Structure 1
Amino acid sequence: MRIRYSILTFILLLSAFTKAHSQSANDHIFPASAVAKPYIDFDSKGFMVNGKRTFIVSAGLEYARIPHELWYDRLLRIKRAGFNCIEIYTIWNFHEEQEGKFNFTGDHDLGKFLDIVKQLGLYAIVRVGPYYCAEWDNGGYPIWLKFKKGLRVREDNKSFEQYVDRFFDHLLPVVFQRQINKGGAVILVQLENEHPNGWGTVMPDGYFKHLQAKALDMGMQVPYFFSGLHHASDPAGDGKLDDDKRPNPWFSTEFWAVWYSQYGAKPGDAELYDRRTWKIIARGGNGYNYYMAHGGSNFGYTNNDEDAASYDYGTGIGQAGDLRPIYYAFKRAAWFSRSFQDVLENSTNASETYKGIAVDTAIKISARTSPAGDLIFLDNPGTCKLSTPLDIKGAEELLAGKTISVQPKEIFPLVHNYKLNDDVTLDWVFTRVFAIVKQANTITVVVDAEAGNPLLLRFNTKDKASSKSTAVKIGSNDVLIDEKMPVANEMPVEYTFTSGPQTIRVLAMNRALTDKTWITETEGKSYIITGLNYVGETSVKSGQFKITAETPLTQKSLQKAILYTDSKGIAFNIDAKKGGQQQTINLSNWQYKNAAVNVASNVSTSTWLKSKDPQPIGADADVTADAWYRAMLNIPSNGKYTLQVKGGGRGQAFIDGKPAAKWKLNDNELTLNLTKGKHTLAVFAAHDGRDKLAAYLGPIDEVDSKGLFGNALIKKGGPFISELGKWYFTSANKKDDVKQGPPAFDTSVYKKYKIGNDVFNLKEGYAWFHTIIPQQAVGTSKLAILFKSVDENATVFINGKQVAHHDGWNQPFEVNITDAETLKRPVELTVFIENYSNEGGIDQPVKINAIGDATTVTNWQLKGGPGDVLASTGWTKPDAAMQMKNEPVFYRTTFSLPPSKGNIFIWRFEPEGLGHGSVWVNGHNLGRYPEKLDVKSLYIPECWLKTGLNQLVVYDEDGNSINQTRIVAEEAAGRTINEISIPLN
């Protein structure tokens, strides 16, 4: 199995990977300790929280990607969508960026975040690592770990485990003090993340046992598991979720809702992920966590190499807090599953019982039965609406002449024999239920139907009910609502009856109105508010119900709304404030500061890291994406020279203070024209994020290193590195074929091969790969063959003779040819590859290096970072000559914002015309540009802005002109805020 760096391949890789490890292998959960069981427990059918059957509807987000001032806002949006839980990573390098310096304050205050979660009545699933993935720089490992000798990650490695333990000593008390049995929000803990070997309760080696022992020793009492459960973009798939052998509920810790390559909503997203959610609900799932429900931002230098500042994810709550169509799909599924959680968390499969309920056999049936009632799901997997009569024994008269319409791809739930209270049971509901809300002496059933569709609900009552509404038909022991949804239904249609001490209220509304319906709990009482785009804070003071409501800036219409208490509905209106947001703020009056002072021959390097060979970025404890290198070159004669050194990222070379060449550091060599004598070489290096190291185990000292590193050589002539082309392959039958040596090259047997292609069809297999190395120049004494990655194991043959073997994918290795006779003519290179899972072949281009004997460049110096970005001195006005410097520069200006007057205006910085770099607003680092998603600008959190003057600093690594940049409005994400007070009496 190998790492491919494309989004599509990663999806395929992880989907297959997680299916093998979490679904068919083990998705078990370790039970809670005895002291925690009364608070969080489970059996094979579901979760129990505080002794109550609870469907876990969880929203993935990262506090590390949200300014702490916005934590409450984002969590409240999640709560308003019906979620009862959040899931987070506790990313290691976010809390221990510098070795031994732990940060749990401000944006890093995990304890405060979890306290807000508890304050809002939400639960928390905490994934403590120590590995995270998450499209985060280095997968969350602190960069200083790369420089620990002998350290191997995610293995039973003493060096690694001692640093994990030290981090856990600071992290775990914050988490464990907030376990649910101690009055906190934490109900589940995940150790490790997406490990190739151990998921669920599987502990294949001492590393897993070490993590378990450490966590238990430090007080972990709630249930826990390793790596994750059922990760996929469609976790239910087409499989069976019930499993008699599984002692715990079915739960997905990563239900991928859209993907990290997307910004904003795309047509069809809401419908697609809505269906995939209902598949979980309908087929016996006991909960799910959307990864992500809110993506956020990669502030500072936290992005990996697949993204930049934005981690919007295209999901329900946008990067700027705006609500997308998929948010409302999340909300409908959440309130339904929570309303019927006593069924869904204690049910068995009843699909066979109800298999003939739909006359149209194109509609598929699944069903759940429990002591609390039954849920039957009508599934239309096709692309056309289906209308079907229903065949239900005992309901023939009720259903006579009626059909149920199921939209394309919809899963339509029916409710049967569901007990609302001791006096009333929902016998049958043939209308979509949005939510059931218990309000003191009233139970409100909110149903969803479009104009002309049936409103059909039958209740059984212990005694004869009563109603003032003629539309409610009262029988001796039953109540019937049997109407068609009115065509003009801008407001809910209300039906009520009384049975025993409680009132049953049915609110019927269309889908557009359920999207604008919010269920809140204030002062221990539940309220329903319908008609508003979004309801934020609510409170009751002095007989007034207070609401903070939001309306998109782009919407100006009057909103008609109703507040439903336990006894009545109170109508009120909101007239959205007039006026919009200024669309653009043009930036001017820029100041400039040289950011390339380190090219000068006389610069002081007394504080720089000094070493024989160049060290990777981060070796000096700097955590930014930028670094400067310096060394002296002693050139014996004029001419063209080639410098070879391993590298990663982008670079620019300077000779004696003057720009010499741009440099792709991954090419590992640079050709320069040099004159005889001594020269100062300065190299500026930068990168766009490190690999997230998905599924990687082992040493990380040379994995995706950035900057310059390793042995540096210089030699007259060159370039000396070239890529091998014209590859061919032929299949082998078995592993032992390698013993016979490669078959003779014949194009009738071998087929053309393109580097990176899979020749094994995602299956185990063996194959021969062949190419010709051209004849080298006379006098070449050594030729290195550079393999960057093969999948998975490789045996290398030169002219038919085995010369090397390498095990492991995504690991560079080198094969040298030093025989003078061999190098006098073209060389046949053949590679036998063993593939054991998923794709297989030669991942990356194979190169040859003919530099041979060369002079070593030693005594290197390293200084990381862009310099003092926020220094107040050294700024000047840029002139025309400074507009394209081809070297790093700082720019600074201010811009003014008017008072928001109760609005939330969303602003973004658009780096038009710039190259690569970072942006600070009022001292806060917005992250890296250019963006890699379908958005050009960087989100500026509203909490980091202020009325009046704001400072903007840009560090452009390429020295491009600043003149085209501007501040732009994201008006679609802006909101108008209204404070409303409604008399309750």
Structure 2
Amino acid sequence: MRIRYTILTFILLLTAFTSAHSQGSNDYIFPATAVAKPYIDFDSKGFIVEGKRTFIASAGLEYARIPHELWYDRLLRIKRAGFNCIEIYTIWNFHEEQEGKFNFSGDRDLGKFLDIVKQLGLYAIVRVGPYYCAEWDNGGYPIWLKFKKGLRVREDNKPFEQYVDRFFDHLLPVVFQRQINKGGAVILVQLENEHPNGWGTVMPDGYFKHLQAKALDMGMQVPYFFSGLHHASDPAGDGKLDDDKRPNPWFSTEFWAVWYSQYGAKPGDAELYNRRTWKIIAHGGNGYNYYMAHGGSNFGYTNNDEDAASYDYGTGIGQAGDLRPIYYTFKRAAWFSRSFQDVLENSTNASETYKGIAVDTAVKISARTSPAGDLIFLDTPGTSEVGTSLNIKGSENLLAGKKISLQPKEIYPLVHNHKLNDEVTLDWALTRVFAIVKQANTTTIIVDAEAGEPVLLRFNTKVKASSVSASVKVENDNVLIDDQMSATAEKPVEYTFKSGLQTIRVLAMNRALTDKTWVTESEGENYIITGLNYVGEASVKNGQLKLTAESSLTQNAVQKATLYTDSKIIPFSIGAQKGDQQSTISLANWQYKNAAVNAATNVNTSSWLKSKDPQPMGADADVTADAWYRTTTNIPSNGKYTLQVKGGGRGQAFIDGKPAARWRLNDNELTLNLTKGKHTLAVFAAHDGRDKLAAYLGPIDEVDSKGLFGNALIKKGGPFISELGNWYFTKANKKDDVKQGPPAFDTSVYKKYKIGADVFNLKEGYAWFHTTIPRQSAGTSKLAVLFKSVDENATVFINGKQVAHHDGWNQPFEVNITDAETLKRPIELSVFIENYSNEGGIDQPIKINAIGDATAVINWQLKGGPGDVQAVNGWTKLGAAKQTKNAPVFYRTTFNLPPSTGNTFIWRFDPVGLGHGSVWVNGHNLGRYPEKLDMKSLYIPECWLKPGVNQVAVYDEDGNSINKTRIVAEGAAGRLIKEISIPLN
């Protein structure tokens, strides 16, 4: 069954999805074929990539929401955070907007994107659909699918499968040519997405078998699964992740962090998702994918009805590429997990073994043991800091008088008996390990501790340690680091020793400095840099390490940094930089063009789509959010008339070229004052994104259609549609209760009901709903009862008699009452609802329509699109010509940017004062406004701007004034860039 994806039901969604698709559901993965197994394999304890136990720390992003010029930058930021994998959708209508015309170039060049992933040494999980969700227009279905006769989506339906196959014929070779066993990045493939029936390896019908057969026939060789694995905002749940029956690793393909209704960081986000990530690590999880790690933008007309241009998601890497506090949470967990992946990908639960290790009983214990060592996790679920002694046999001297300080809600890792190399084993690490980095014959262990906290590590060596630095004690074959963290945060404290040919280096620093610590790679060598806000590109040339260092525009201070090679420590610094960015660019000298020419009485419509009844937007192959409809109607006498036609979105009506009214098309009727005679009716229709059709199965020809469609009627009088209120409900015991008919209406039995409320407490159940339809006016010959959506099956009774049954949620249907005697008095309407999972009831208002017999309005014409915003001709200086009010308009002007200094300034278009519409900068469509998030301005990707003159064009559907708009800086996202070279010799 479906789950409603709205901001208002966010908490409900999390609860329902966590319950429906968590540990209790099928989370199995189909294994790789024999030819791919040497490259990507798994067992019940973990993933094995190219023969090595590998923890999958994955970052979700969509190449469709990022200009291709910025792909490398965003992927590098992901790599720098310690991720080793990315996860993407391959959205269908992004690649086949027009039927049969496939686009895999430019921003749609999936092959190039995956090649960059490989270039950066990352893996890829590719979710090929054909359904995607993703808060994307129409869930990723091309609009033209709506107009295919007999087509039902996500079912064993030949017309649907035919078009899926054609898309897959173009898509899958791009993906499968880049499987890891063929030298590419792809290690896992997901077929379908969040299907109501089939997850993991479940194939409930022929549709799933068809997808499987198609993918295998086209060369899928890496492991794959259906729909997803463990989608939730807290995937680890109660921490019971071990499952002896599961043949594959535990993995979450959608760990929701944060949510699509948020822009930017909010207090507490980093701490919350830090804990939820460490729960996965501590309880035997073998990987996770954050959805999202970078959200991006809904350029053009790709947003669904919950979003506009921004898809920031409030996550680690902002819409403009800026780094948020949660980014460092991601980074810390990823580096730890990968540092101990040989433990985490081959472990069993050892919590019982270590249950008494913390003296303070408020500390909860979980542990993992493996041939590669043990990890013990100290968990403080409360809101207070806890200091605890540890009870480790044989380590009394190490722990004498010392306590481990645990922050509120922290999960603190201890390491035991972990082999670092052939010479040295890390016996105990009682200080938080951030990362372990291999550098030739040097193993660097980065730990973090705050001022005053102990730095405690003990090693076992095969050869007695030598070349020992200060604060390192050698006792036979043991090496002990026992120190107290100093107060400085500017430079790590270093501890080193040698054992045989191996060097062990411990770098201790506080959390602020680990946030500024980066591991880069060039020519197969690892380099550690501390003290920089961000390190981008890094390469070794002519004996020098060349770095791109980055800091915030708001920071104007010297950055003291240190480079650690395998054998050298090289301090360096970056001087204070000035990053002054103008905060606002005023926009003036606007030009104007009438965008409502299609409302005129005489318009050349030879190229328009013509039909008896109006057709939904997209019927003419247009994929924008705007359309014009035209027809004529003959009015017999002066008066008030009501036009009824099904619709979706927003509408503006014009009578004989003049604005007449605005209305909500979903209301399905408009009342107008008309004079006798023949009139030209033009309707401008627009929408703010189509529904993403989450969990929807079946025909999509009329699901969330936009514009005008169906029979159009006009009748004198009205309005004729009204909403039914005063609802009551009472629970039923079983499905068969419907056979007895509705119980007599009695307010001592029935309770008041509000449309949209869940009466089943997210569980299966049955209930009766009741209201009274008022007596209709004399002469009413037909009354239609309009059901938009019931949740989920409904049996309808009129005056106690069953008249209709309907199965399915989010599917409109109607019941007609034509009996003359029934229409003469009030009507008792009863609805029996069957609910089979999650919330249930009457989830959309029920209306009645009393228009009855009316005159048909026929011979409609349709033309989609706003017109050509880039057209050279037709522009006049704003104010020089009379502007049509309450009608769409075009505006354009230019603004200047100074020459680039190499820094990244972030600019946004602020549509203050405008209504609804789209913005283009230098020909690139930024997406839709108004925004639905806290950030109201639209991000202008820096790659779409140029020094000197830039053009901005606006299409405002409401005809609002342009005079208050401006270009504004997002200073918090701007970056200062510095290219530096560090001699290595």
TM-score by length of 2: 0.99
Cα distance, 1:7 vs structure 2:
1.9
1:333-377 CA deviation, whole Å, 9 max, x = no partner?
A: 000000000000000000000001001111100000000000000
Within 5 Å, which residues of 2 pair with 1:847-866? 847-866=847-866
SS of the equivalent of 1:101 reads: coil
Aligned to 2:92: 92
Does residue 1:942 correspond to 2:981, yes or no?
no
Cα distance, 1:733 vs structure 2:
1.4
Aligned to 2:234: 234
Aligned to 1:202: 202
Aligned to 2:965: 965
Query: In the alignment, residue 346 of structure 1 is paired with which amino acid?
Result: N
Within 5 Å, which residues of 2 pair with 1:125-140? 125-140=125-140
Give the percent of matched residue pairs that are identical in Structure 1 and Structure 2. Answer: 87
Cα distance, 1:600 vs structure 2:
0.8
8 Å Cα contact 2:239/2:280 also seen in 1: no
Query: In the alignment, residue 268 of structure 1 is paired with which amino acid?
Result: G
Within 5 Å, which residues of 2 pair with 1:220-619? 220-619=220-619
8 Å Cα contact 1:379/1:410 also seen in 2: yes
Aligned to 1:102: 102
CA distance in 1, matches of 2:800, 2:499: 89
Aligned to 1:952: 952
Cα distance, 1:18 vs structure 2:
5.5
Query: In the alignment, residue 82 of structure 1 is paired with which amino acid?
Result: G
Query: In the alignment, residue 811 of structure 1 is paired with which amino acid?
Result: Q
1:613-645 CA deviation, whole Å, 9 max, x = no partner?
A: 100000000000000000111111111100000
Aligned to 1:57: 57
CA distance in 1, matches of 2:348, 2:337: 16
Cα distance, 1:15 vs structure 2:
4.6
1:877-922 CA deviation, whole Å, 9 max, x = no partner?
A: 1218756721000000000000131210000000000000000000
Aligned to 2:116: 116
CA distance in 2, matches of 1:485, 1:842: 61
Query: In the alignment, residue 547 of structure 2 is paired with which amino acid?
Result: I
SS of the equivalent of 1:111 reads: helix
Unaligned segments of structure 1, at least 5 residues: none
1:645-667 CA deviation, whole Å, 9 max, x = no partner?
A: 00000000000000000010000
Aligned to 1:754: 754
Aligned to 2:37: 37
Aligned to 1:13: 13
Structure 1 pair 831/118, CA: closer, same or farther in 2 (3 Å)?
A: same
8 Å Cα contact 1:883/1:962 also seen in 2: no
Aligned to 1:878: 878
CA distance in 2, matches of 1:184, 1:758: 48
CA distance in 1, matches of 2:8, 2:189: 30
CA distance in 2, matches of 1:444, 1:727: 69
> 51-60 or 747-756: which moved more?
747-756
CA distance in 1, matches of 2:102, 2:734: 52
Query: In the alignment, residue 328 of structure 1 is paired with which amino acid?
Result: Y
8 Å Cα contact 2:489/2:513 also seen in 1: no
Aligned to 1:47: 47
SS of the equivalent of 2:170 reads: helix
Cα distance, 1:467 vs structure 2:
2.8
CA distance in 1, matches of 2:5, 2:189: 30
Cα distance, 1:748 vs structure 2:
1.2
Cα distance, 1:392 vs structure 2:
1.1
CA distance in 2, matches of 1:902, 1:524: 28
CA distance in 2, matches of 1:19, 1:769: 28
Aligned to 1:690: 690
Aligned to 1:809: 809
Cα distance, 1:268 vs structure 2:
0.3
Does residue 1:984 correspond to 2:984, yes or no?
yes
CA RMSD of aligned residues (A): 1.0
Aligned to 1:914: 914
8 Å Cα contact 1:791/1:842 also seen in 2: yes
Query: In the alignment, residue 544 of structure 1 is paired with which amino acid?
Result: Q
TM-score by length of 1: 0.99
Query: In the alignment, residue 934 of structure 2 is paired with which amino acid?
Result: D
Query: In the alignment, residue 732 of structure 2 is paired with which amino acid?
Result: A
1:72-124 CA deviation, whole Å, 9 max, x = no partner?
A: 00000000000000000000000000000000000000000000000000000
Does residue 1:679 correspond to 2:679, yes or no?
yes
Query: In the alignment, residue 519 of structure 2 is paired with which amino acid?
Result: I
Query: In the alignment, residue 217 of structure 2 is paired with which amino acid?
Result: D
CA distance in 2, matches of 1:70, 1:779: 66
8 Å Cα contact 1:650/1:685 also seen in 2: yes
CA distance in 2, matches of 1:131, 1:313: 21
CA distance in 2, matches of 1:356, 1:179: 46
Within 5 Å, which residues of 2 pair with 1:723-738? 723-738=723-738
CA distance in 1, matches of 2:952, 2:882: 19
Cα distance, 1:5 vs structure 2:
5.2
8 Å Cα contact 2:3/2:16 also seen in 1: no
Within 5 Å, which residues of 2 pair with 1:139-154? 139-154=139-154
Query: In the alignment, residue 153 of structure 2 is paired with which amino acid?
Result: V
CA distance in 1, matches of 2:884, 2:346: 67
Aligned to 2:925: 925
Cα distance, 1:876 vs structure 2:
0.2
Query: In the alignment, residue 462 of structure 1 is paired with which amino acid?
Result: K
SS of the equivalent of 2:490 reads: coil
Aligned to 1:168: 168
8 Å Cα contact 2:253/2:290 also seen in 1: yes
CA distance in 1, matches of 2:553, 2:316: 18
1:918-964 CA deviation, whole Å, 9 max, x = no partner?
A: 00000000000000011110000000000000000000000000000
Within 5 Å, which residues of 2 pair with 1:784-803? 784-803=784-803
Query: In the alignment, residue 223 of structure 1 is paired with which amino acid?
Result: P
8 Å Cα contact 1:883/1:961 also seen in 2: no
Cα distance, 1:239 vs structure 2:
3.9
Cα distance, 1:422 vs structure 2:
0.9
Query: In the alignment, residue 630 of structure 2 is paired with which amino acid?
Result: R
CA distance in 2, matches of 1:559, 1:96: 48
SS of the equivalent of 2:335 reads: helix
Aligned to 1:846: 846
8 Å Cα contact 2:470/2:495 also seen in 1: no
8 Å Cα contact 1:21/1:198 also seen in 2: no
CA distance in 2, matches of 1:946, 1:968: 16
SS of the equivalent of 1:12 reads: helix
CA distance in 1, matches of 2:219, 2:890: 49
Cα distance, 1:746 vs structure 2:
1.2
Query: In the alignment, residue 166 of structure 1 is paired with which amino acid?
Result: R
Query: In the alignment, residue 467 of structure 1 is paired with which amino acid?
Result: S
SS of the equivalent of 1:805 reads: strand
SS of the equivalent of 1:791 reads: coil
Query: In the alignment, residue 348 of structure 2 is paired with which amino acid?
Result: T
8 Å Cα contact 2:431/2:454 also seen in 1: yes
Cα distance, 1:6 vs structure 2:
2.4
Cα distance, 1:762 vs structure 2:
1.1
8 Å Cα contact 1:58/1:84 also seen in 2: yes
Structure 1 pair 378/3, CA: closer, same or farther in 2 (3 Å)?
A: closer
Cα distance, 1:732 vs structure 2:
1.3
Query: In the alignment, residue 390 of structure 2 is paired with which amino acid?
Result: L
CA distance in 1, matches of 2:297, 2:947: 23
8 Å Cα contact 1:786/1:849 also seen in 2: yes
SS of the equivalent of 1:977 reads: strand
8 Å Cα contact 2:416/2:427 also seen in 1: yes
8 Å Cα contact 1:13/1:838 also seen in 2: no
Unaligned segments of structure 2, at least 5 residues: none
Aligned to 2:834: 834
Query: In the alignment, residue 30 of structure 2 is paired with which amino acid?
Result: F
Structure 1 pair 737/49, CA: closer, same or farther in 2 (3 Å)?
A: same
8 Å Cα contact 1:536/1:549 also seen in 2: yes
